[in-house]
Each structure stands twice: as structure tokens, then as C-alpha cells.
Amino acid sequence: MSTPDDWTASARRVYFGLLEDWNRQDAAAMAARFTDRGSLVGFDGSVIDGRTCIEAHLRPIFAGHPTPRFVAKVREVRRMANGQTLLLRAVAGMWPRGATALEPSLNAIQTIVLSLCDGAYRIEMFQNTPAAFHGRPDEIEKLSAELRDVGKPAGA
């Protein structure tokens, strides 16, 4: 029987691994973290379904753009009723390559649903929602300050 520490650590490993894959611009590694039928909802609202489509979607993004690097903080990991599914909620910010500061307009709220597949957790759904906080600039600054405290990503 796994303990909350075990499944929380597993969820965090998958999540931070996904962000590290993004930071390295490794489409294949990112896609490999998803189930075959996994889905990704991007920052711009793009919906991509299936591991092979996720990789195909990310390859040209990484090839044509110096994507900013993620820093993040996990807010919650919750085990769902069936015991085989985890929900992870986090906040994330991005450092444009070569920049000396976090770009607040790229802050996001992220949610991942993970399923236990052959003894390892894989992503069923990753949603990356802009943290725009319309009309609430104090909330934007509060989140940006929290994410700056996380630190600068390696290589930024």
C-alpha cells in the first residue's frame, strides 16, 4: 500500500520532469510522460490529444522559438477516489531566455491529472491556464513575487 508521501512524490516527479523537458525543449521526452490518449491544453488554448500528436505539436514550437523556461510551485497533490488517479495543482512562471526577470504575463495556473499505468504515473491531462487575474494587478504581483522566490531556472 502506498503512502501519501509516495504518491505525492511521484506526482511531483512527473510534473517537474515535464517542466524540465520543456526547459530543455525536448518534445519526445515531454510526450513520453503522457498516456497514449493523454491530452494537453496549452497556454493559448490549443487542445492536443494523444501522445504522438503532443510530440508533433511541440516539435515545431521548440524548433522555431526560444521558449521561456518554467519555474513552478506545487500547491496541492490529491489522490482521487479510485486510488489510481492523482490530481496536481501548481502555479508556474516563465523566464524568457536571456532575461534577467520573470515575465508576469506568462504566469500560469497548471493542473495535471495522472493515472497509474504499469506501475508508473503518466499524464492523462495537462492544462496550462494564463494567470491573467483581470482587473486585479495586486494578484499578478503577488503570484510573480511568489514565483521569483522559487528562483531562476537552471540555464536562464
Concatenated DSSP letters for 36-101?
A: EEEEEE-TT--EEESHHHHHHHHHHHHHH--PPEEEEEEEEEEE-TTSSEEEEEEEEEEE-TT-SS
> What is the tens place of the pLDDT at every residue in 87-137?
999 999 999 988 888 999 999 999 999 999 988 999 999 999 999 999 999
- Residues, the chain, total? 156
**Buried b / exposed e along 34-60 (16+ C-beta atoms within 10 A):** bbeebbbbbeeeeebebbebbbebbee
When pLDDT is cut at 50, 70 and 90, the band that residue 1 belongs to is very low
Average pLDDT score over the chain: 92
Phi, psi angles (nearest 5°) of residue 108: -145, 155
Q: What per-residue confidence (pLDDT) applies to 100?
A: 86
Q: What per-residue confidence (pLDDT) applies to 56?
A: 97
Domains belonging to the chain, first-starting first, are: 4-149 (3.10.450.50)
> What is the tens place of the pLDDT at every residue in 73-91?
999 999 998 778 999 999 9
Please tell me the distance from the alpha carbon of residue 58 to that of residue 63, in angstroms, as a whole number: 9
pTM above 0.95, yes or no: no
Q: Is the pLDDT of residue 152 over 90?
A: no
Q: What per-residue confidence (pLDDT) applies to 37?
A: 96
Torsion, Cα of 43, 45, 49, 54 (10° steps): -40
Q: What per-residue confidence (pLDDT) applies to 94?
A: 94
DSSP label at 152?
Answer: P
Q: What per-residue confidence (pLDDT) applies to 4?
A: 61
Q: Is the pLDDT of residue 72 over 50?
A: yes
